[in-house]
Each structure stands twice: as C-alpha cells, then as structure tokens.
A = this chain, B = another copy of it.
Amino acid sequence: MAMTDDARLQPGDTVGILGGGQLGRMLALAAASLGLKTHIFCPDPDSPAFDVSCAYTVAPYDDVSALDAFASSCAVVTYEFENVPGATAMHLASRLPVRPGVRALEVSQDRFHEKEFLRASGVALADYATIDSDEDLAAALTLFGGTGVLKTRRFGYDGKGQVMIRTASNARGAYDKIGRVPAVLERLIPFDREVSVIVARGIDGVCSAYDIAENHHEHHILKTSTVPANVSAETAAKARDMAIRIASSLEYVGVMGVEMFLSGTGDAETLLVNEIAPRVHNSGHWTDDACLTSQFEQHIRAVAGWTLGSADRHSDVVMENLIGDDCHSWPQILTEANARLHLYGKAEARAGRKMGHVNRITPRTA
C-alpha cells in the first residue's frame, strides 16, 4: 500500500506503531476513537500496547521480513520512542510514509546534531562543545568557566549517560564515567525551572502548540507537570513560538515535546531549549484531560494526514507520574473528585518504572 508523502488515511486504515510501551498504548487508544486500526511492532512480548491494538508483531527491530510484513499491513508508520534504529526507519520509509520523518529521528538521536539543528533554527540554547577525548573536555571546561554537563551524544534518557561537572574534582574521570563515547559538554545554566511545550505540525504545515507546562523531576524522572506554568504571558507565548519554529524548521509531521530551561523571573525570564523528543511526551499527558484534543489524538491526526484539532485548554491541571509503588495508591486516587486516573496495564511495579499517571484538574468554570 505505497503512499505518497502527503497521503491521507481513511477511517479503517491501520497506523503502525514502533514501540509497545505506555506511549504506544495511549496512541492506540486515541487511534481507535477515530476509527483507525493499529498494529504495534515491539520486541518485548509483554508490551502494554498489545492489549489495545488490532494486531501486534513481536520481533527485533532489525528483522527485515517482520518489518516487511508489518509495512504491508499499515498505511503509515509512527513511533513512540526516538531511538528507533536508523536502518529500521529507512527500510520502512522505502515502503510507506514514516511520520515523523527519518530526519526527525536522525536529528534527535544525536545530541550534537540536535544542537546544531536547533541553533540553525534560530532558537536559544546553552553553549555546547563536542567531546571525543579528555583533551576536548579540558578545553571546553576552560571555555565554559570550569563547569558543565557532560552528556553522551546518543541513547541518553532520564539522566542516564550524564555527568554533572561543578568542580575540578568532578571533571577528573568524567569522560571515563560515560564510557569514552562521543559526547557533548553543555555550559551549566543557572536555570531555576524546567518547562516544556508540546507542539504538533500537520502535513499541511499548520502548527498548534499546547500551553507551556512547568515540570518537576525526582531522581531524573519526571514527577509532575503543572499547567498553567507560573510564567509571564510573554514567556508563555515565546515558548510556544520557539516550539513552533522548531517543528517548522524540521518540516515535522506529528507531535513533539520541546524541553526548555527557564531562568529569572518576570521581565528577566529567559528560555533556553534543552532537548526535543520527536514523539508524544510524558510532560504532555495532562492534555488528555484538560484540552479539547489530547496530544495522543493530535499525533494520530497528524500522522494520518488529517487536520489537527484544537489545543485549547478547558481546565487547569497537575499531572503526577505514578512511578513504581506509587501506583498502589489507585484506590485513594479514585476517591478524589477531580483526579483522572490512568494506568498502563503493566504487571510488575518495579522501582523507577512508569506505571501510570493521574491528572488532577480544575475546570475553568464560569
């Protein structure tokens, strides 16, 4: 079922999703509400997305015959994580539309490429330098005043593959700690807060950004997202503009999470882009219960080639991740009048595992 790049799906068509975690699961639920079928491709036989999909394939991402059969059953392919192997994405893209495109994956899989792209897009970000040796690190630290954050270029998430360098003693052995792989050093920003914007872009080029969220992490894992964020109207508008600029520069199709650092207050508020995620994003889970269109439906509409929905927000909201044993509080959460419980159907509540989330909403009632 080869389709051109601007192809639009019909109800009843199948959206292929690479990755079977909670993001794939929530994408599949959103697709079903729109009359679309889903086919999940994931190596993990216990993928929670399988429970709500029409079809699923358990195979490694480099299994070409499994990918071919998957491609034959789908009208478009999308993904729930940015570390889809490049060869997998390229192979599928030769068969049918992959949205967001292969370029979004290439850019986001390598921190240096990502930063180069962001700089070229004209958005503000912290200074950075590539690091391939102890000498590179020493030189960059000198440039940045002796401090910085050393991060692997590839495969970092939830604080993994990172070393914070605040002192000369931190610097010693830092490159060893991340395994002497290609890396970047980022200038240390005295940021006060972390914020994010979820932005969508349709195949018609129309962009739609949700309200800025203020994010709080614990142990490098997102714990809460609060909307509205406690920022000035100017900052809120600027954050959305930056996210839209990024999506437009990339000729992106789908939903993207844009993480930013916010420093200062009032007129002195300054935003720097931290990183982008070419997929629905944990810091956008609040949209499901507080907006006309959730990020999951928005992503499905975009990758289906359909008109985007309204990102307007009808409620104030705090999203809280249920991590590990947090999920055992579900009976109490159900008794809270304004709490919207979401559980991902994962059997085992391991430490650090995202088991669900709760959106506590306050309708903006007249």
Contacts and interface: CB of A to CB of B under 8 A. Distances in A.
A6 to B, nearest CB: 14
B29 A25 contact: no
B292 A338 contact: yes
Contacts of A219: none
A347 B12 contact: yes
A25 B327 CA distance: 26
Given A361-B292, A363-B312, A32 B345 contact: yes
Contacts of A32: 25, 29, 51-52, 345
A335 interface: yes
A29 to B, nearest CB: 6
Interface residues of A, number: 45
A190 interface: no
B337 A34 contact: no
Contact of A363 (B28, B361, B364): B364
25 contacts: A11-B327, A25-B32, A29-B29, A29-B52, A32-B345, A33-B343, A34-B343, A35-B344, A35-B356, A36-B345, A52-B52, A52-B53, A292-B337, A292-B338, A306-B334, A307-B334, A307-B335, A309-B334, A310-B337, A310-B338, A314-B315, A314-B363, A314-B365, A364-B364, A364-B365
Interface of A: 11-12, 25, 28-29, 32-37, 51-54, 292-293, 301, 306-307, 309-310, 312, 314-315, 327, 330-331, 334-335, 337-338, 340-345, 347, 356, 361, 363-366
9 A-B pairs closest in CB distance: A35-B343, A314-B363, A307-B334, A310-B337, A51-B54, A32-B52, A35-B345, A11-B343, A364-B365
